[in-house]
Amino acid sequence: MGGCSSSDSESVGDPLESAAYEEFVLSQVPQGDSKFDMSGSGSASSLGLPDEASCPQEVAPAADGPVDGTDATDTTTEPVDGTDATDTAIEPTDEGDSTDAIDSSTEPVDGADSMDATDTAIEPTDGADSADAIDSSTEPVEDSDASDAAGEPTGTEDEPATGAPPEMVDPCADAVAETPWKEVYDLELGQVRFPDGLEAPAQYPRPTVANVGLGGTEFWQKWSGGENPTFNYSRGSDFGRRCMVAASLRFQLIMVDPPESILELKANTNWGGSFFNWVDDFGGPNPWGSASGAKLWAWRTGLIKWISQAAADGTCYLPTWSQVEGLAEDCLARGEYSNGEIQGCRN
């Protein structure tokens, strides 16, 4: 677990288990059902940033119908010269050629009106050989016209062609791309880097979302003479405070629309929706150890520690969306066999 090394426990006992520590932390624990609602404030708004990583919107689609106004059946059923498709398929252009059998299929030359088109097609009167007479182009099938033989498009009368699908635009994209906090918006990016010279705000911007809450601020300072812990935001190193603000922003971006498993965890265990913002701060002089990754840990059933790490070079390690999902699944499993208690689950 990222916030309390073995050396801490060996030198002064485990401060995480002391009565003073527990009393102070629990006095700051936010209750998930109380003051947390979407009020347009919180870390994102305090920093002048979008409340969500992405907020796509649809623009109006193009007008329905093909550009020239014709439906899909026009070109397959109506020849260009105005003659219907049946006429052009069965009328010969020359009486004396080998298409006599075709002509006799509709207008018998010998006046034999008692013979239907099928009979004349297979018994030509002009001496055409049987191969010509049985030409497949002259055999109507149950009075179907040429458009049937060619195949009619299915559903085109009822479902005319439409215009282009709606275009999606993201009005948040430009604002996110331009902010020096933009990497925090990549909710699966665990190791976040900032531009040189980016300073943390003077006041800690707390997140404001529904259903869950993030209390604290808690620093564990990983250098000789550092405070372990201090709950004073102003006492963090420059990199530590910047990382704590990033942790608050990442929390808001995830929890504004949290994983379903987080909501299940709150509904099905004794956890009430409370987190606490903790940063392992390696940003002081001659730090011992090094930052390696964010942690999530149910220190008590009623409180999950949201643990980030500020490296000596200014890199910040933040919890990710997948990490939050993994924690919730672990805690749900623990709660099932522990009567709703989740203390000790982590990710």
Tokens of 35: 């003051």
* pLDDT given at position 63: 53
Residue 316 has pLDDT above 80, yes or no: yes
Q: What is the DSSP string of 185-254?
A: G-TT--EE---TT----SS------SS-EEEEEEEEE-BTT--SSB--GGGS-HHHHHHHHHHHHHHHHH
Q: Model pTM?
A: 0.65
What would the pLDDT profile of 115-145 be if each residue is shown by its tens digit?
443 444 444 444 444 444 344 444 444 444 4
pLDDT band at 31 (very low <50, low <70, confident <90, very high): low
- Condensed to tens digits (0 to 9), the pLDDT of residues 232-256 reads 999 999 999 999 999 999 999 999 9
SS3 316: strand
Two tokens at 253?
């971006």
What is the predicted pLDDT for the residue at 42? 82
Element spanning 317, H or E: strand 316-317
CB 53 within 8 A of CB 176: yes
| Strand-strand pairing, 316-317 and 191-192 | antiparallel
Q: What is the C-alpha to C-alpha distance for residues 189 and 56, in angstroms, rounded to an integer?
A: 21
Q: Write down the mean pLDDT value for the chain.
A: 75
- Cβ neighbours of residue 2 closer than 8 Å, sequence gap 6 or more: 280, 292, 293, 294, 295, 307, 309
* CA dist., res. 103 & res. 245, Å (int): 89
Phi, psi of 295 (to 5 degrees): -135, 155
3-state SS class at 307 = strand
Buried b (16+ CB within 10 A) or exposed e, 107-126: ebeeeeeeeebeebbeebee
Which phi and psi angles does 307 have, rounded to 5°?
A: -105, 115
